[in-house]
Chain A
Amino acid sequence: MQVIRLMLATFLFVLLSPAGAQVQTVQGKATLSYQGPASTPADRILALQKAQVNAFDYYYAEAGDSESQNYASVKDQIFRDIDRYVLDTTVLSESDDVVGRKYTVVVKLALNVPNLRALMKQNSTVGSATRDQKSRLAFLFVSRSVDSVKTYDARVYKRADASAQVRATETQAGAQSDDNPGSVNSAVAAGGTGIASVEQSTATSETGGSAVRKSKETTWRIAPSADLNQIFTQVFSKAGFRVQEAALVQSAAGGKFKLEAVEEDYKSGNDLKAATLQTIVDGMRVASVPLLALGTLDLGLVDTDPQTGLYRVVVTVNARLLDLNEAIPETVASVGPTQYSGKGPTEDEARTNALKSAANSAARELASQLTSQGIH
């Protein structure tokens, strides 16, 4: 074993499957420097293992901060039982540079994503907590589309100032008595005396003004949220939380808040009014729900996907998760604004696909951030 150091590594990239697929492939590369005339089998095994680690590192680095933190906490467990999490390892290329004494290997791994997710969940605080120890989580998400947009013409103010100035000066040449000043513009008289005068005039004009533009006013139409509820419930439940829909919490909140007020706020703006938010917080506390996820999914206009000719809709997600245990509620996780698109043969299908994709991704990210912070 003449391994002295593991050298650099890694250009890696995730291949194949889209998000949510059960098997994903990822490539990893490692270069190992060795002593001795050629690499030994042990060197090659070490390089292969390092390439596998690099592939995992890259996969989770691509998945975002919170996923990466969760991965860091279970990394050792993964590599203690790697066959459980890697379905297949394929060596794509290997080369042994005997002059430079470097052995390089590139591998492609097929990751068992369900097993990896299960491991993350087991090791999260919420995963190891008993049902009684788990906090209840309510979510309040609104999907909405633009109902009307009022735009204003620019208010234009224009001003023009003009001024004129005339100045005359006289000079005297030769002898001339003071009581005979002569006339303006007279020529010098024969004999060498006379008066010369110069008249100067200046005209100045200034124009200017200002234009005031007022930003557009947008009102929103609230869309049905049954699909969203289903997705949020599914994702948070799988992550180990006790999930409750806000509509059901409302009745246990002693009339502290009304969902209609929330929808009303979101019809005209991007944020809840302070008073509305406070009523929700009060209501959740009455109902003993310490975690509240809330946000909006804004549907854009429908256009045509240039590649497929299908309808396409873009959804913009803004979401945050409040911890209500503190006297002043604390935002412990947030997502967005992030955009997702959905396509379909009809406008409705495109909308539904976009909302599903956005809700799924937002819920996953929020749940992952909670897990990485040990909140349960």
Chain B
Amino acid sequence: MLISMSRSVGAIFLACSAVAAPIAGAQQRSVAFAGFAYAGEFATREARFVNSTRYEADLRSAGATAYQRISGLITANPPRQLHLVANIDALKGADQVIVTALVVTNETTSVEQFGAFVKVLALVRAQALFFDFKSQTVLRAYPLSFAYIDTLDHVPDADEVYERYRKVFEGAGDKPGLFARYAATLASAQLPVQVPRFIQVTQVTISPEVLARIPDSFKASSTSAQSWLADLISEAISSRTGVPVLPFAPSYSVNNVMAVAVSDGDVYNLTLPHPDYAFVAALTRLKKVKYGESPAGASFIYGAYGTVTLTQPMSGREYLNTGLKNGEVKLVPAMQTYVDDFPAYFDAVNAMFAKLADAMDGKGDAWIKSAATAPDIERQIAQAKELILSCK
């Protein structure tokens, strides 16, 4: 990320969306669109999602609700595997009533001063959630997120921060916003006819050394950093392989019950199914090494180190158990007086799990052979690939 002097100069988008690969032969299922929702306690949503609720209120006062805005995007990019209906009542009498909603699970704002510069981060994490209305059980979840990073020459006020959130929802440049990403997810999402298999990131650990390099805004509570990492991994797996990944239970549920409050006031207490396959990850080390230097500037390798396991909890069978490392190169111009390391570390961590997901999805294993510590990594990846295929 380059930082230069101007009122609002660099804008960087870190965004991924789940791309659910369609499966030939899957039958079209009727799904009701519930709208825009928030995870957790309904009464405190405005305190927890300050900018998201403000954006929603602005839309309403402008005469177009979030529901209508998303519906318009869905109409422009309709689901190929699902038959979407406007409300739940339309499915009354059906054997199974499946409902989908865009559920915002987390909103993170970070304003950090580095010398003369101020870095602003607006991050929204969400889920394209499908649940069974009758049994109030989560059926599928595709993680989504959009991070807008900006550098300013002054500390932004609340309105300026809010403007960044507006871009998170509406998109910026050629990057579609969260609403469009949800619509794109629905466009390719499909629901299995048979009993689905569930993958979930069940546990993440971050070493104290790594934790020290993560901005305070990601450590607002004792589990915030874990939640951030779990969402990052879930999204990497889901977006790269097309496999739904259940929300990280410790962050979004109490006793495996996830509360979802739709903006029209409906509240659902959804049961998260137990995972059939558990993904456990640890982020053990971050490292920065100077790679090269010239009069124009210097290049650095930002390295991320971790471990991952993928198991079937009941049998204890391990599909994956290895250490991993990944390095990403960042160029720093000679004229740049201050270097913010976290975005580069973020890229290294994100790419590590994205590349792992690519390998599990059969998109080449050149990287994994050099990045993994397990001597039998090819056999492990072959097993994991088979498992991922069975979960689609």
Please tell me if B190 contacts chain A, counting CB pairs below 8 Å.
Answer: no
**Total contacting residues, chain B, CB less than 8 A:** 30
Q: Hey, what's the 0/1 contact readout for A342-355 against B, CB within 8 Å counting as 1?
A: 01010000000000
- Nearest B residue to A308, CB-CB: B259
A148 CB to nearest B CB, Å: 30
Q: Which B211-266 residues have a C-beta within 8 angstroms of A? A: 254, 257, 259, 261, 265
CA gap between A11 and B313 in the complex, in Å: 10
- Contact status A92-B137, CB under 8 Å: no
Assembled-state Cα–Cα distance A27/B271 (Å): 17
How far in angstroms is the closest Cβ of chain B from A10?
Answer: 9
Which residue of B is nearest A12, CB measured?
B314
Given A93-B315, A308-B269, CB of A21 within 8 Å of CB of B41: no
Does A62 belong to the interface (CB within 8 Å)? no
* Residues on B with beta carbons closer than 8 Å to the beta carbon of A50: none
- A residues in contact with B135, CB < 8 Å: 16-18, 21, 23
Question: Which of A102-110, A203-211, A214-222 interfaces with chain B?
Answer: A102-110
Q: Does A171 contact B (CB under 8 A)?
A: no
B42 interface contact, C-beta 8 A: yes
- Compute how far the CA of A309 lies from the CA of B276 in the bound complex, rounded to whole angstroms: 30
Interface status of A307 (Cβ within 8 A of chain B): yes
Q: Is the CB of B195 within 8 A of A92?
A: no
Q: Is the CB of B137 within 8 A of A108?
A: no
Supposing A16-B135, A308-B42, A310-B267 touch, asked if A108 and B257 sit within 8 A by C-beta, the answer is no
Beyond A15-B274, A18-B137, A90-B194, is A307–B315 a contact (Cβ under 8 Å)? Answer: no
On chain A, the residues within 8 Å of B271 by CB distance are: 16-18
Question: A88 contacts which of B40, B137, B195, B312 (Cβ < 8 Å)?
Answer: B195
**A123-159 at interface with B (beta carbon < 8 Å):** none
Residues of A within 8 A of B95 (CB): 22
> Do B315 and A104 touch across chains, with their CB atoms under 8 A apart?
yes
A interface residue count range (under 10 / 10 to 19 / 20 to 34 / 35 or more) = 20 to 34
Do residues A106 and B312 form an inter-chain contact, with CB atoms below 8 A?
yes
Residue A177 at the chain B interface, CB threshold 8 Å:
no
Contacts of A29 in B (CB 8 A): 314-315
Interface status of A25 (Cβ within 8 A of chain B) = yes
Output the least CB separation between A307 and chain B (Å). Answer: 4
State whether A11 touches B43 (Cβ < 8 A): no
Contact A95 B315 (CB under 8 A): yes
B35-66: which have CB < 8 Å to A? 40-44
Evaluate whether A309 and B44 lie within 8 angstroms (CB atoms) in the complex, with A16-B273, A21-B134 already known.
Answer: yes
Which residues on A are within 8 Å of B, measured CB to CB? 11-13, 15-18, 21-23, 25, 27, 29, 87-88, 90, 92-93, 95, 104-106, 108, 110, 306-310, 343, 345
Residues of B within 8 A of A (CB): 40-44, 95, 132, 134-137, 194-195, 197, 254, 257, 259, 261, 265, 267, 269, 271, 273-274, 276-277, 312, 314-315, 317
Q: List 20 A-B contacts (CB under 8 A).
A: A18-B271, A21-B134, A21-B135, A29-B314, A92-B197, A95-B315, A104-B315, A105-B315, A106-B315, A110-B195, A306-B41, A307-B40, A307-B257, A307-B269, A308-B40, A308-B269, A309-B43, A309-B44, A310-B42, A310-B267
Known: A21-B137, A27-B314, A310-B42. 10 other contacts (CB 8 A): A16-B135, A17-B135, A17-B271, A88-B194, A90-B195, A92-B277, A306-B254, A309-B42, A310-B267, A345-B265
